[in-house]
Chain A
Amino acid sequence: GAGVSQTPSNKVTEKGKYVELRCDPISGHTALYWYRQSLGQGPEFLIYFQGTGAADDSGLPNDRFFAVRPEGSVSTLKIQRTERGDSAVYLCASSLTFGNTIYFGEGSWLTVV
């Protein structure tokens, strides 16, 4: 596609439920990143994929968070047993390779009630 596409754009879920957020990067981009942004703050790194493998998952806050990119293109961020503190905008980005210009999607706004 022309840009990074994220779905859903908005998600409201109840505390304790499971959530999946999807990211479709720019075609041909091998590097894919997930960031999380809380109100009034800058984006915070969660995980980086180079191809199919998670090259750096040091930003995942705990084991309730998991992400996959099975075919080296689309990625899914999975959050188990959601908590109210997980409410944020989840941003996906991609770049041609690691270290190049990075392009962000519009984000998935997650609200846990």
Chain B
Amino acid sequence: GIQVEQSPPDLILQEGANSTLRCNFSDSVNNLQWFHQNPWGQLINLFYIPSGTKQNGRLSATTVATERYSLLYISSSQTTDSGVYFCAVETGTASKLTFGTGTRLQVTL
């Protein structure tokens, strides 16, 4: 099956800093989504982005499907950004999202 690797695995930021999270995948994908899992376990969908660039407030994401990676940018980080960020992909041969290994982000004051 498809492999989805995220980097870095852990990240500690001071409030106000910017960061880039990366998601690499091993095969062509039809669907790529980014999620934030807050410290209480709730998974929130951030972006549906199989290709191109999208922005939502302080967050933006870019997927370069031909090179099999996606980036999530967090600008001016806040403590509420803490949690685990997952990318998840779906290929044309499987009707499911396969989740990556996650990046655990901690934003400190």
Q: Which chain A residues have a beta carbon within 8 Å of chain B's beta carbons? A: 33, 42-45, 48, 55-56, 58-59, 89, 91, 93, 98-104, 106-107
Query: B55-63, B73-81, B97-105: which one contacts chain A?
Result: B97-105
Known contacts A100-B48, A101-B48, A45 near B43 by CB under 8 Å: no
On chain B, the residues within 8 Å of A106 by CB distance are: 40-42
On chain A, the residues within 8 Å of B35 by CB distance are: 104
B30:A43 contact, CB within 8 angstroms: no
A104:B42 contact, CB within 8 angstroms: yes
CB proximity of A47 to chain B, nearest CB, Å: 9
Q: Which chain B residues have a beta carbon within 8 Å of chain A's beta carbons? A: 30-31, 33, 35, 40-45, 48, 86, 88, 90, 94-102
Known contacts A42-B100, A99-B30, A102-B33, A56 near B95 by CB under 8 Å: yes
A48:B95 contact, CB within 8 angstroms: yes
Beta-carbon nearest neighbor of A91 in chain B: B43
Given A43-B99, A104-B43, 16 other A-B contacts at CB below 8 A?
A42-B86, A42-B99, A42-B100, A43-B86, A43-B88, A45-B97, A56-B96, A98-B95, A99-B31, A101-B33, A101-B45, A102-B97, A104-B44, A106-B41, A106-B42, A107-B41
Question: How many residue pairs between the two chains, A and B, have CB atoms under 8 Å in the bound complex?
Answer: 50
Known contacts A99-B90, A107-B41, A42 near B96 by CB under 8 Å: no
Beta-carbon nearest neighbor of B40 in chain A: A106
Beta-carbon nearest neighbor of B104 in chain A: A40
Give CA–CA (A93, B97) in the complex, Å. Answer: 11
CB proximity of A8 to chain B, nearest CB, Å: 15
Q: List 8 A-B contacts (CB under 8 A).
A: A33-B96, A33-B97, A42-B100, A42-B101, A43-B99, A93-B43, A106-B40, A107-B42
Give CA–CA (A44, B86) in the complex, Å. Answer: 12
Give CA–CA (A103, B97) in the complex, Å. Answer: 12
